[in-house]
Amino acid sequence: MRIIIDIGHPKDINVFKNVIFALQSKGHEVKIVGRAKENTKRILAEYGFDCEFGPYYKNIAGKVLGIAHNDLWLYNIAKKYQPDLFISPGSPYAAHVSRLLGKPHLAYIDTEIATFAIKLMLPFTDKVYTSSSFYTDLGPKQERFNGYYELAYLHPKYFKPNPEIPKKYGLDEYIILRLSALAAHHDINATGLNFKTEEDLLEYVNELEKYGRVIISSETREWQTIKNYQIPIDPKDLHDLISYSSLCIGEGATMASEAAILGVPSIYVSNTQRGYLNELEKKYGLAYTIQRKNEALKKAAEILGNESCRNEWFLKRKKMLSEKIDVAEFIVETVEAYNSAKRYN
């Protein structure tokens, strides 16, 4: 089987990397296409993956206007490659081109607030797979599974944190503060930490520093304070650093969920809701979604002041892992099962 995987975010590479390895080991051919967002190219290179990169627009207006451009770009690639199947984390481009070529498209999505992309994708998609925590009903094409996409790469089966990595960066007790550009299509009307001035950011950092060194991970570098608190991190070390951090706090849902999955307290500061983060909070107590940055800071102080916190989160994570499936294996099974079903119909 010849498969095209369309990625749009660095997280997508992590979600699908073990899927790609498994599919290739089973004799399937996989072609990766995507947009070069943040450190996507570097992460792909770390895993030894080749990828063809299409047009990438940093602002929301550009993303809307660039739909036809991306569709045409992918159509030309797919026409030449002749895939049997398209899979993606909900790519409208993969959905549109799959329909033009008369091939199935399977979508694996976790962001309910990406309503615009879902509306563009869903009519041209054969099947949509979502976590059981996904709070939107997408109709008969939707199939739910008991897991989180982060488990496709952060489950203990696939990831074991290296205690030498924090030492590599001279880190001991540290807190990760994640700042997002909030420029994705699903970030319309989204608010996060919303620092008005650099002084506001510095004051926030100073409060967190009462409990350990603060490391800023940011999509933007507009202020000197951000530059001062950033360290050059090799992308392959990121999850090790998250795993050994005391807390992750910020406006990035991906990092918040990754921290929770790794058993690290996380606070997602946003006015938006994600089903998987809601479940990680309400069912397992591993994460918090808080709208106001000052309330988030109070929660951070409460967590960091709890000396038994690390052990508590270890037990919470253990419970969560015992109840969830191997998501990478699930994706491989659904891809192969769908292909078999098509072949015999």
Here the CATH number for the domain that contains residue 255 is 3.40.50.2000
With CA atoms as reference, report the closest residue to 233 among 211, 260, 250, 255: 255
pLDDT digits (tens, 9 = 90+) for 295-337: 999 999 999 999 899 999 999 999 999 999 999 999 999 999 8
All residues at 6 or more sequence positions from 241 whose CB lies less than 8 Å from its CB, including other chains: 165, 166, 169, 171, 176, 215, 233
The verdict on 244 and 122 lying in the same domain is no
Both 100 and 127 in one domain: the answer is yes
pTM greater than 0.85: yes
pLDDT tens per residue across span 17-28: 999 999 999 999
Split into its structural domains, the chain has a count of 2
Within-domain flag for 153? no
Q: Which two tokens stand for residue 184?
A: 């994705």
Is 304 found in the same domain as 254? yes
Radius of gyration, CA atoms only, the chain: 20
Same domain, 90 and 225: no
In whole angstroms, what is the distance from residue 227 CA to residue 277 CA? 29
Domain that holds residue 172: 164-323
| Cβ neighbours of 273 (radius 10 Å) | 14
Distance CA 259, CA 249 (A): 9
Would you give per-residue pLDDT tens digits along the chain (345 residues)? Answer: 999 999 988 889 999 999 999 999 999 999 999 887 767 888 888 889 999 998 776 666 666 677 888 899 999 999 999 999 999 999 999 999 999 999 999 999 998 988 889 999 999 999 999 999 999 999 999 999 999 999 999 999 999 999 999 999 999 999 999 998 644 444 445 567 888 889 999 999 999 999 999 999 987 777 899 999 999 998 899 999 999 999 999 998 999 999 999 999 999 999 888 999 999 999 999 999 999 999 999 999 999 999 899 999 999 999 999 999 999 999 999 999 876 655 434
- Do 318 and 333 reside in the same domain of the chain? no
Q: Does 335 share its domain with 216? A: no
Residues 80 and 43 in one domain: yes
228 and 129 in a common domain: no
